[in-house]
Structure 1
Amino acid sequence: MTSTLASKPETSRPSGHTGIATAAAHRTPDAPGPLVSFLRFVVCGGGVGVASGPAVTLLALSMPWTLANALVTVVSTVLCTELHARFTFGTGRRAGWRRHWQAAGSATAAYAVTSTAVLVLHTVQPSAGVMREQVVYLTASALAGIGRFLVLRLYVFGTRRHATGPLRSQDRAGGADARFPALSPA
């Protein structure tokens, strides 16, 4: 006896659903699931984040710490966005300008978290050593990274569908914004 369930075409969820379940339902067939993409995110983003710690410290020898953090944040965000586009979230192609700008929004929030954490450390303990500063910086980076993962997975690299069907390739590649189908090129 064969099951008729296996032969039914896949249907999309109603547009009112949000969250990881919706992102999973709308991802491309070769895109990794949430756990795999999170592990990849930790490897890629965490690796760049760990390298960023000493880079900020070295740059801070010749400029204010917040400026050094800003420079490292910009460089690491561009690098990580490319890594996440190609590897973490399984798009297999470059991120494109739209995704870089969207990722910059979450990176700005992460910059604020790390800068605030280290500035609080310097206020509470003005003579904090480099090791303590690194622990605070990397801990704040890890906490901000969790939020960044959710933003990137659900909004920046998540594929979306609108009432007219799946996104066209130029929409996914960074062309039109799927939330505004009327603005999409014909």
Structure 2
Amino acid sequence: MKTTETPGPIASFIRFVVCGGGVTVLSSIVLVQLEARMSLLLANALITVVGTLLANELHSRISFGSDRRGWRMHLESTATAFAAWLVTSVAMLTLHHLSAHPAVLLEQAVYLTASGVAGLGRFLTLRLVVFAKKSSPLEPPVREEVVLAA
């Protein structure tokens, strides 16, 4: 197994946002194309599965420079996406429980805030748990050097 260099936290975060955002934009374009050929629910389910698998691979290889591959990595990474979905769903359900007809700006503010919190939580979980470099008992732990620009 070849080892790749782990990008620093800021580079990882930027890559995480670009990869995830890129897959989301691509998914929205493909969704429109598929919707013309099948039901919206089926198209969305297909796009969600394929988009999640693609994002998992991109995050593994690009965002976190990980050597992890296979179904276990996909299951762990997908679990973080599911947890993020739960966070945004609970936030929106809570808002609609507190206010039957919230203003559009309030609804967007709650959704975007929950998405940001969930995304940050997902990033931290992926970086620190799912794609963290594991050292064997015979090797010293992998340490990253932090370089501060003057």
Q: Which residue in 1 is equivalent to 2:100?
A: 126
Q: Distance in 2 between matches of 1:137 and 1:70?
A: 21
Q: Distance in 1 between matches of 2:104 and 2:57?
A: 30
Q: Distance in 2 between matches of 1:52 and 1:136?
A: 23
Q: Distance in 2 between matches of 1:79 and 1:143?
A: 22
Contact 1:70–1:111 under 8 Å retained in 2:
no
Q: 1:39-58 maps to which residues of 2 (within 5 A)? A: 39-48=14-23
Q: Which residue in 2 is equivalent to 1:137?
A: 111
**Equivalent pairs: percent with the same residue?**
53
The structure with the largest helix share of the pair is 2
Using the size of structure 1 for normalisation, the TM-score is 0.54
Q: Which residue in 1 is equivalent to 2:62?
A: 87
Task: Tell me the SS of whatever aligns to 2:100.
Answer: coil
Structure 2: gaps of 5 or more residues: 32-39, 141-150
- Would the alpha carbon gap of residues 49 and 158 (structure 1) be closer, same or farther in structure 2, given more than 3 Å must change? same
Q: Distance in 2 between matches of 1:82 and 1:95?
A: 8
Q: 1:28-177 maps to which residues of 2 (within 5 A)? A: 28-48=3-23, 76-91=51-66, 95-128=69-102, 132-165=106-139
Q: CA deviation at 1:134?
A: 3.9
Larger Rg: 1
Structure 1: gaps of 5 or more residues: 1-27, 56-61, 64-68, 167-186
Q: CA deviation at 1:85?
A: 1.6
Alignment RMSD: 3.7
Using the size of structure 2 for normalisation, the TM-score is 0.64
Amino acid at match of 2:17: V
